[in-house]
Amino acid sequence: MDINVKITNNVLLLLSAALLSACGGGGGGSDNSGQTTPPAFQQGVFQAASNFEARCQTPRTGTNPATGTAYPDRQGSTLQENNWLRSWSNDLYLWYDEIVDRNPADFSDTESYFEQLKTNALTSSGNPRDQFHFTFDTERWRQLSQSGVSAGYGANFAVLQTTPPRRIVVAYVEPGSPAANAGLSRGTEVLRVDGVDAVNGGTQADVDVINAGLSPSAAGQSHTFVVQDVGATSSYSVTLQSGNITSTPVLTTDIINTSSGDVGYILFNDHIATAEQQLLDAVTQMANANITDLVLDLRYNGGGFLSIASQMAYMIAGSSATSGRTFENLVFNDKHRVNNPVTGERLAPSPFRSTTTGLSATAGQALPSLNLSRVFVLTTADTCSASEAIINGLRGINVEVIQIGSTTCGKPYGFYPQDNCGTTYFTIQFAGENDVGFSDYSDGFSPANATSNVGEPVAGCAVADDYSRPLGDPAERLLATALQYRIDRTCPTPSAIVARQRIDSGAALEVPGGGVVGKPLWLQNRILERN
């Protein structure tokens, strides 16, 4: 999956239609792999997941590049994989008692069965409580999480209008990427994709072409776009060939000189491993400049490794404010109140990390700190999970968080990725509480004057994303609002931001005032690495 927006067929198909019309006992047996089948299904009776682990329909062979050891896979069956999922979910899923227990033999593939192993409960606003239940090919997950490499052009697209006339624009581009080399930049609008009208195209065939062009499935694919830059009166054609794109998680840093002191700006887009060193370097620069305030731009940061969020929060607040305080306390289901069920360690609150963990920086380095009593955070519906943990963790120790933008995605939950038979499964395993025990923001954090998308209120201003100016430009709407608020604590009239909707891919749509960068689901989460 490219780290780009993908307009799902389901969504555009609906739009197109609208346009065109206006384990317990029991004996064994043998399955089609020749292996002994699991015992007969008994609703509510579960064997240990280890009885079915690594019993695979298609076992892997050779050496696991993540561990340097042989894969543990043995010949098995889809039924055994499904039984592993059933028992594993019953043990570790946060809301295991809300799963409807279905016979795993009724499902011919693991993906469709896994989709059933989650709660159907809703939040107070009517959104699904669990919107982050998904799988990933294990090797692709390893490559993405460690290096941020994925197939694409390096253009991250945003959907500002989902119904014809659609609006699809570039949110940002990765430096040195095919998109950057072709001259695409923030705000460039997509008008046509491989000859198809991206604005008004209404058939399913149109949808398929648009999807294939926006989200190439592999490197080496070429697609032609007709685009128009911000402020231009004419369009032009550009052909992009997808490549293996490396994400730059800390894309922009700057020190903005103002009459009331220097203000640091950090555009932080992904909590991936490479962010550790980049954040360390950025904050060192800010600390050496003795900045008086920080604007942390998380508008496109869907999350990732929780340890990086903890480091970032420490670097903002410093040792005095964080000493002896909890960044996040992990709360598992009621079967696991004493020990962490994944690591086996005794459960204890996680402190603010004051040293590097070794994800990309040398492990054990002391982190720099800004010792700030407040921070300005720029947000959209794409600000999710580990990014929300920064907000929640700092609020728990009385650092004033001022939110500029729109309501965050609302995910106070996380997991440990789990591989079985070449698929990595992501299922909600814990909630994250801050130092005062707060975790109730499943509808997101909202600027205090927001009139829609209202979640947990935070001081600040509701402002729609601004694609007319570069990120980091002091005149860009969100950053300009933050700079003004620090002077007189005033807000502009709240921007018209319509409630986002959730689509099958997990990407959130926010229209017309916002938009969305379609980060893959693994980047919309709290991810814990095993020590």
* Same domain for 261 and 396: yes
Q: Are residues 306 and 204 in the same domain?
A: no
Q: Residue 147: its pLDDT value, please?
A: 61
Last residue of a domain, one of 230, 246, 262: 246
Mean pLDDT on 446-460: 89
Are 370 and 334 members of one domain?
yes
pLDDT higher for 516 or 82?
Answer: 82
Phi, psi angle pair for 278, to nearest 5°:
-65, -40
Nearest 5°: CA angle at 215, between 213 and 218? 100
Task: Considering only residues 29 and 209, tell me which one the structure prediction assigns the higher pLDDT.
Answer: 209
Contacts of 117 (CB under 8 A, 6+ apart): 85, 86, 89, 93, 99, 133, 427
284 and 421 share one domain = yes
Q: What is the extent of the structural domain holding 33?
A: 23-134
Co-location of 348 and 265 in the same domain? yes
Between 154-163, 262-271, 297-306, the lowest mean confidence (pLDDT) is in 154-163
Q: Do residues 39 and 115 share a domain? A: yes
Q: Which of 92-101, 134-143, 509-518 has the highest mean pLDDT?
A: 92-101
Same-domain pairing of 240 and 256: no
- Mark whether 96 and 109 lie in a shared domain: yes
User: Quick check: helix, strand or coil at residue 378?
Assistant: strand
| 193 domain-assigned | yes
Residue 58 within any structural domain of the chain = yes
Whole-number CA gyration radius for the chain: 23
Domain closes at, from 73, 103, 134: 134
Residues 404 and 266 in one domain: yes
What pLDDT does residue 519 have?
Answer: 55
* CATH number of residue 326's parent domain: 3.90.226.10
pLDDT digits (tens, 9 = 90+) for 90-109: 999 999 999 999 999 999 99
Per-residue model confidence as pLDDT tens digits over 267-298: 999 998 999 999 999 999 999 999 999 999 99
522 within a domain of the structure (yes/no): no
The CATH number for 180's domain is: 2.30.42.10
Q: Which of 246, 270, 303 is the endpoint of a domain?
A: 246
Same domain, 173 and 119: no
- Mention every residue, 6+ apart, whose C-beta is less than 8 A from residue 256: 262, 263, 264, 265, 474, 483
Q: Is the pLDDT of residue 524 over 70?
A: no
Q: What's the pTM?
A: 0.81
Same structural domain, 64 and 182: no
Is 507 contained in some domain? no
Give pLDDT, residue 131: 82
Residue 457 domain-assigned? yes
Average pLDDT, the chain: 86
- Looking at the structure, tell me whether residues 399 and 488 fall in a common domain: yes
